[in-house]
Amino acid sequence: MVLQLRLQQPIGVFDSGVGGLTVLREVRRQLPNESVVYFGDTARLPYGNRTQAELVGFVYEILEWLRSQSVKMAIMACNTSSALALEAVRQAFEFPILGIILPGARAAVRTGQRIGVIATTATVRSESYVRAIAETNPEAQVWQVACPEFVPLIESQRLGDPYTRAIAQDYLSGLVEEGIDTLVFGCTHYPHLAGLLRELLPASVRFVDPAKYVVRAAAKELELLGLRSNHGAGTTRFFVSGDPAQFAQSACPWLGQVPIAKQVPLSHVELLS
Please, are residues 73 and 218 in contact by the beta-carbon 8 Å criterion? yes
- Beta partners for 14? 39, 76
Please, are residues 129 and 117 in contact by the beta-carbon 8 Å criterion? yes
Please, are residues 160 and 187 in contact by the beta-carbon 8 Å criterion? no
Is 147 marked active-site?
no
Length of the chain as a residue count: 273
User: Which pLDDT belongs to residue 62?
Assistant: 97
Q: Which of 73, 75, 78, 133 is catalytic?
A: 78
User: Which pLDDT belongs to residue 242?
Assistant: 95
What does each of the 273 residues of the chain score in pLDDT, given as a tens digit? 445 558 889 999 999 999 999 999 999 999 999 999 999 999 998 999 899 999 999 999 999 999 999 999 999 999 999 999 999 999 999 999 999 999 999 999 999 999 999 999 999 999 999 999 999 999 999 999 999 999 999 999 899 999 999 999 999 999 999 999 999 999 999 999 999 999 999 999 999 999 999 999 999 999 999 999 988 889 999 999 999 999 999 999 989 999 999 999 876 444 332
User: Which pLDDT belongs to residue 72?
Assistant: 97
Q: Which of 21, 55, 97, 187 is catalytic?
A: 187
Is 78 marked active-site?
yes
Domains along the chain with CATH numbers:
2-99+212-263 (3.40.50.1860), 101-209 (3.40.50.1860)
Cα dihedral 78, 119, 89, 132 sign: positive
User: Which pLDDT belongs to residue 269?
Assistant: 43
Q: At 116, which amino acid appears?
A: G
Q: Is 10 helix (H, G, I), strand (E, B) or coil?
A: coil
User: Which pLDDT belongs to residue 233?
Assistant: 87
Nearest Cα to Cα of residue 70 among 269, 227, 247: 227
